[in-house]
C-alpha cells in the first residue's frame, strides 16, 4: 500500500513537470523548442566530438605530410568552434527562456 502511494505521488509530480508540457499537461511552444534545442545540441555535440577525434587522429598520423597536417588542424579548429557555437546556443536559449517565463 505504501509503495502504491509513493509511486502515484512521484508519478503525478514528474508527469506534470515533463518538458514540453505545462502544469495542465498542455503542449507549449516553449517546451517544444526546448526539446528540439536539447536534441540538436546532443546530436551536434556527438558529431563534433567524433570529428574532433578523427581530426586529431589525422593530425597525429600525418607523418610530415603538409596536406594531412593542414586538414587535421583545420578539423580540430572547426570542431572546437562547433562545440562553442552549440554551447552558446543552449546558453542563449536558456537566458531568453528565463526572461520570458
Q: What is the pLDDT of residue 3?
A: 54
Higher pLDDT, 1 or 88: 88
* pTM exceeds 0.75 for this model: no
Average pLDDT of the segment spanning 23-34: 70
3-state helix, strand, coil in the chain (%, to 5): 80, 0, 15
Lowest-pLDDT choice from 20-24, 26-30, 31-35:
20-24
Within 13 A of 5's CA, how many CA atoms are on the CB side?
A: 2
Terminal C-alpha separation, the chain: 39
pLDDT 10s digits, 35-91: 888 888 899 999 999 999 999 999 999 988 999 999 999 999 999 999 999 999 888
Amino acid at each position: 500500500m505504501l509503495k502504491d502511494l509513493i509511486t502515484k505521488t512521484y508519478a503525478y509530480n514528474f508527469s506534470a513537470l515533463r518538458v514540453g508540457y505545462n502544469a495542465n499537461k498542455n503542449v507549449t511552444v516553449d517546451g517544444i523548442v526546448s526539446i528540439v534545442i536539447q536534441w540538436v545540441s546532443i546530436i551536434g555535440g556527438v558529431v563534433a566530438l567524433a570529428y574532433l577525434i578523427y581530426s586529431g587522429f589525422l593530425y597525429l598520423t600525418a607523418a610530415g605530410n603538409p596536406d594531412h597536417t593542414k586538414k587535421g588542424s583545420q578539423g580540430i579548429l572547426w570542431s572546437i568552434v562547433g562545440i562553442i557555437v552549440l554551447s552558446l546556443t543552449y546558453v542563449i536559449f536558456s537566458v531568453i527562456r528565463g526572461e520570458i517565463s
